[in-house]
Structure 1
Amino acid sequence: MVSVQLAKSDSQIIECFPVMFQLRLHLEQAKFIEQVRYQMKEGYQLAFLQVDGLTIAVAGFRVSTCLSLGKFLYIDDLVVEELKRSQGYGQQLFQWLIEYAKNHNCKYLSLDSGVQRFQAHRFYLIQNMNITSHHFAMEL
Structure 2
Amino acid sequence: MLKIKIRRFDKDEINTFLPLVQELMEHSVEENLLKARFSEMFEHRYECHGIYVEEKLAGVFGLWFATRHYCGKTCEADHVFIKPEYRSKGLGKQVFQWIYEYARERGCETSELNAYVHNFAGHKFYLNENYVIKGYHFLKKL
Determine if the TM-score, normalized by the shorter chain, exceeds 0.5.
yes
List aligned pairs for 1:7-26, cutoff 5 A.
7-8=9-10, 10-11=12-13, 13-24=14-25, 25-26=27-28
Match of 2:68 in 1: 66
Offset of residue 120 of structure 1: 0.6
Equivalent pairs counted in the alignment come to 139
Query: Following the alignment from structure 2 to structure 1, what is the Cα–Cα distance between the partners of residues 92 and 29?
Result: 21
**Matched-pair contact (CA < 8 Å) for 2:17–2:50:** yes
Point out where structure 1 has 5 or more consecutive residues left out of the alignment. Answer: none
Query: Following the alignment from structure 2 to structure 1, what is the Cα–Cα distance between the partners of residues 52 and 67?
Result: 30
Offset of residue 59 of structure 1: 0.6
Offset of residue 110 of structure 1: 0.3
1:38 match: secondary structure: helix
Cα distance change on mapping 1:42 and 1:96 into 2, 3 Å: same
Which amino acid is the alignment partner of residue 69 of structure 1? C
**Matched-pair contact (CA < 8 Å) for 2:114–2:137:** yes
Match of 1:38 in 2: 40
Instruction: Write the deviation string for residues 60-109 of structure 1: whole angstroms up to 9, x where unpaired.
Output: 11100111111101122111012211111122111111111111111110
Point out where structure 2 has 5 or more consecutive residues left out of the alignment. Answer: none
Match of 1:102 in 2: 104
Query: Following the alignment from structure 2 to structure 1, what is the Cα–Cα distance between the partners of residues 4 and 116?
Result: 29
Query: Following the alignment from structure 2 to structure 1, what is the Cα–Cα distance between the partners of residues 31 and 93?
Result: 26
Aligned identity (percent) is: 27
2:136 to 109, 134, 137: 134
Which amino acid is the alignment partner of residue 18 of structure 2? F
1:22 match: secondary structure: helix
Cα distance change on mapping 1:112 and 1:9 into 2, 3 Å: closer
After TM superposition, the score normalised by the length of structure 1 is: 0.87
After TM superposition, the score normalised by the length of structure 2 is: 0.86
1:78 to 63, 77, 80: 80
1:95 match: secondary structure: helix
